[in-house]
Structure 1
Amino acid sequence: MAYVSTTGEFTRDQRYIATRITADGRDGYPVEPGRYRLVVSRACPWANRTIIVRRLLGLEDVLSMGVAGPTHDERSWTFDLDPGGQDPVLGIERLQEAFFQRYPGYDKGITVPAIVDVPTGQVVTNDFPQITIDMSLEWKQYHRPGAPELYPEALRAEIDEVNRHVFRDVNNGVYRAGFAGSQEAYDKAYHRLFDRLDWLSERLAGQRYLVGDTITEADVRLFTTLVRFDPVYHGHFKCNRSKLTEMPVLWAYARDLFQTPGFGDTIDFVHIKRHYYEVHRDINPTGIVPAGPELGNWLSEHGRESLGGRPFGDGTPPPPPKPDEVVPADHGAR
């Protein structure tokens, strides 16, 4: 949920359910294989982070995933992709039901990603920044052999600092531009966004990844915004100084990650475009979904290997997605 202030500035409601699933169960929810269900939409950049991290760490067999459809109404995300319009594990039609099961009359945002306790049907958390950190730290005993260190202790302070800048100016910055209610608010968000993208371009010109020489949480968080930039944010959110394809360093960096197992194979461009253009009728009243852009260029050579770096550090790439989690071929880059 979000609102636009009297000065026209978009403000994201960040009152998330902060309950955590931990190895010691200190919040009442211990890490247990098979107990929880991660609910996502492939359209949503915040949820996309959890899909990627779950893949990279190999948690598919211990944390099941329910995929909501790309569109929703004011009552929340629906499971319209599943037979009968119900999540096959939770038996619910709307994510809202899991929130109400724990908090009747819940009046904050019904957001993805969310993790639901299967035995009780109650939502545990929708605190998306913490969910991926906890996947790395609290679920560690269930990581696959060769899982990468996405939040290494020695780099956490730097990762956290980069993430703060990227969230404020890029991840959330595109929304601050797109939903601005005044010219002044839009101009401010627009310039902060592209100033930060220029800063990121300078940072990445000489190093393959954002922090250190391997993929970390910071790369996951930036990637899910970059991959949506040209299909959605450039036009729909008026972030149109440059397309991603016109920013050479960031375009090469994004293609490098896209072509890394666990990143591009989670991306559903059809769901992404349908969500933004169909749901945001306040800024796209007709609901028409644009046909472009062409997506085959995501698979072109990027040349970033010349900068060195080891994508998975001492680990290994994840295996291919589980058959029931494969993005349809005509929904990806081709």
Structure 2
Amino acid sequence: MGSIGGSPLPQPSPARRGRTAENSGELQESRERSAGSLPASLANVSPRRRADKLSTLLPKSCRAFTLVELLVVMVIIGILTSITLPALKGIGQANLNAAANRQILDDLAFARLRAINDRTTVYMVFVPPYVAQKLDQARGDFQELRYVTNLLGGPYRGYALLAARTVGDQPGRGRRRYLSDWKTLPEGALFAPYKFDSRLSRHPNDYLRSFATNAFPFPDANSSPFMLPYIAFNPYGQLTSQQDELIPLAKGHITFPRDDAGNFIHSTPDVQLIPPGQGTNTFQYVRVNWLTGRAKIEPVIPQ
């Protein structure tokens, strides 16, 4: 037992001595576990040197990208983009065809149904390329002039449904009325320009024959008559022409001549088909069976 200045030193109690021994044992055990979990070369190394050595032992997959590797990744992304963009464009064109086909099929079916239900003749009339001529007839009527002006962008794209009679009309005294507003095909779709060439109205080939024309009130039911291309359904749902009608749908853009102030001028629109020089063998045809009046898509290449 030690002493200081002759006085004995205080000794820890047995319980305290037990706790101290226990804590020392735990600390030693913790050190042994830490040393056992490290490689032998790092067990007795300072923490700083240990961190440096551990960084050299990390697998390469845990390291950051180098500049060269990033450049390689960017090149790969560019190559994949150049490959996939044309495919995405093709998907857009397919959607355009599907939308135009569905719109025409639905409106033809509606025209046929109204002809049968109303026991009348229903016409699908089209905006002609010479629609600007109607401006001269509409000079005295501001409302009609505005209506015609709005339709100057409709050639090769616009159409509407017109009934020969209204329900309740007296026999022999029919009053024509429009069953729909003027519609246009989706942007980028148009009716083949040759369908508006009156010189082809009697062509024997179904694929080359243009629309028939007749005088209809235009642009609304109260307007004066104007020559419009059309197809018609009789009260039995059949085509009045008694021959199949083919409506060719094409892809392209229409440019409308304007003056320096941006106003439309009296001139035929310029049609640019896609691809340039597109022929009748690449059109998407909608065939209307004259006997049943039913329409379907017919991707046929004419002989």
Instruction: Say whether the fold is shared (TM-score over 0.5).
Output: no
- Relative CO higher for 1 or 2, CA cutoff 8 Å, sep ≥ 6? 1
Structure number with larger C-alpha Rg: 2
Q: Which protein has the bigger strand share?
A: 2
Q: TM-score range by the shorter chain?
A: under 0.3
